[in-house]
Every structure is written in C-alpha cells, then in structure tokens.
Amino acid sequence: MAVQIEKRHPLAVLATFLTNTIVNPVRYIARNRSGFVGFCILVFILLMSFVGPYLIPLDNQAKIDRIYSPPSWEHPLGTDSEGKDILSQIVHGGKDVLVVAFLSGFITTLIAAPLGAISAFVGGRVDNVITAIADVVLTIPQIPLLLVIAAVVRFNNVYMLALLLGATSWPGLLRAIRSQVLSIKEKDYVEAARCLDMGTRHIIMKEIIPNMMGYVVINFILATTAAVYAQVGLILFGLVPLSGHNWGVMINLAWVRGAIFFKNSFWYIMAPVTAIVLFQWSMVTFTRSLEEIFNPSLGSGE
C-alpha cells in the first residue's frame, strides 16, 4: 500500500515556521509587561546598532560653524566638539560595544557553567582545585587587574578585549552555579541516572545543566551587562585604543575635550551614557520574561 505524503503550500510552511520561531516566543515574552518592554527596547538597540549603520551614514565631516549645536531636525541629538552629528555616532557606535559584551558574556558562561557543574558533581580533589583557582581569581579586583593587563597588552580588536573580559569574569558565576548543582544533584532524576551508570559527562550535560538553563541564561545576561561597564571603563581611561566609533570612545572624547565646560554639550555627553543605560536596563528587565519562560509557575507579572 503506497503511503501518500501530504503536500503543503509553501506559504503555509512559511507561516508555520514564523509562528514557531517568532510569534510563539514573543507571545511568551509578552506575558510579563515589564519584560516585554525591555525586550522591545533591546530589539530596537540591536537593530539600531547592526542595521542602522547601513541606513544612516556616519558624519565624518567637521563643521566649525556648528560646534555644539542644539538638537534640531537636521541633527536630532545636536553636534559634537567638531560639529559632527551625534545621532550618527550613536548609531555607528553600538556594534563594537554589543559584540564585546555578548562575546564576553558567552565566554564567561562557557567557562563557569561546565566547571561549576563538574566541581559540585564530582567533588573531592577536583572540587577543591577548581574552587581554589576560582577563589584566587575572585580575590583580585577586576578593574585594577584589567587596567594592568591592558597597560601591558595592546588590544587592537574587539575579540581580544572580549576574551580578556570573559577570562577574568567567570569565578563569581562558577560559585553560583556550583551552589545550584549541589542541590540539583540530590534530585531523584540525577540519582536515577547514576544508578543507570550513564556517566559523569552525560549526567552533567544532559540532566543537570538543561534543568538549570534558565539560571544560566539569566546569569549570561548579567555577565553581558557587567562586560559593558568594564569595557567602557577601560576605554574611558584610554587603555583600550580601539579604532572606529563606539559609545565608550564618545565618552572618552567628551571627557578629554572638556565638553562639560561648553554650552549646549549636554547631549554630546549624555547621548552615549543614555544608550548604555538603556541597553543595561532593557537586558535586566528582559530577564523577568525569561524567568517566567523557564519557570511557568511564577505566573503573569507586571
């Protein structure tokens, strides 16, 4: 007997795909109003930073007669100390900051999650060695450490900076994940996996980490926001000579050029600060929706 395969219209396939990948996730996110607002602002910032540069050209032409011009239709955020449009600099200045932040958060999570889970699950000498290394790194203040490293090593690209931030930010998250795994490993399903002799790797990667994925994702977001402050601080001190435009460079230039002493320089100083604050706020607020997605028992929130 021949099996008949149902043929679906391409538009129906596309509609199903869009529903499963976009509509349903957004519907879950919208359950929490605050989280949904944060999500919308985050999407706007991402689109502005990665798509906006193709739509809004960067103003590189100095205009002495328009130095520190107030906001207008031509320049919605005014102009800087050279008469250049601030809005175009904000649009073009977000990409590097966000790439470093997300890469740093990913590296931090990639190091902390497996090591924290192994430390708690295996225990014994393995636990002692991993926690000892984490404690040593944790006792060193991050910003002074970054200042020393940045003064010795020249970071001429965003990937090197992300690697530096990620390699120095994992101990705190490791200890948090270790404490979570210490309680999770006593659960019945973990004990069942042990009795079936599934192996340490399988239990950690297939049983423990998937069941605490919400905690890991939220801490990834917090690590990402912390990386923004760290990199902007390094750039502000002039220890990360990144080429091009980003929000940290804008703050650095406003500082060294004494913008605070000039009339109508408010937006030149506050525009990059506001962009950073909005990004941080949207990320942190978005975690409220993520908490409800990974833990539906929390119910609908405001």
Given this model, what pLDDT does residue 182 score? 82
Tell me the whole-structure pTM to 2 decimals.
0.82
Given this model, what pLDDT does residue 8 score? 60
pLDDT digits (tens, 9 = 90+) for 37-60: 888 999 999 999 999 899 888 888
Q: Is residue 114 within 8 Å of 216, Cβ to Cβ?
A: no
Residue spans per domain, the chain: 25-298
| Residue 161 pLDDT greater than 80, yes or no | yes
User: CB under 8 Å to 206, separation ≥6 — which residues?
Assistant: 198
pLDDT digits (tens, 9 = 90+) for 244-289: 678 888 888 888 777 777 777 788 888 888 999 999 999 888 888 7
pLDDT (average), residues 235-242: 70
User: CB under 8 Å to 249, separation ≥6 — which residues?
Assistant: 93, 235, 242
SS3 at position 79: strand
Q: CA nearest 287: which of 22, 35, 102?
A: 35
Q: Is residue 175 within 8 Å of 192, Cβ to Cβ?
A: no
Distance between first and last Cα of the chain? 56
- C-alpha–C-alpha distance, residues 228 and 226, integer Å: 5
- C-alpha–C-alpha distance, residues 204 and 68, integer Å: 57
Q: Kindly report the CATH class assigned to 25-298.
A: mainly alpha
pLDDT digits (tens, 9 = 90+) for 183-234: 887 777 777 877 777 777 777 777 777 778 878 888 888 889 888 888 888 8
pLDDT averaged over every residue in the chain: 80
- C-alpha–C-alpha distance, residues 105 and 287, integer Å: 15
- C-alpha–C-alpha distance, residues 183 and 99, integer Å: 34
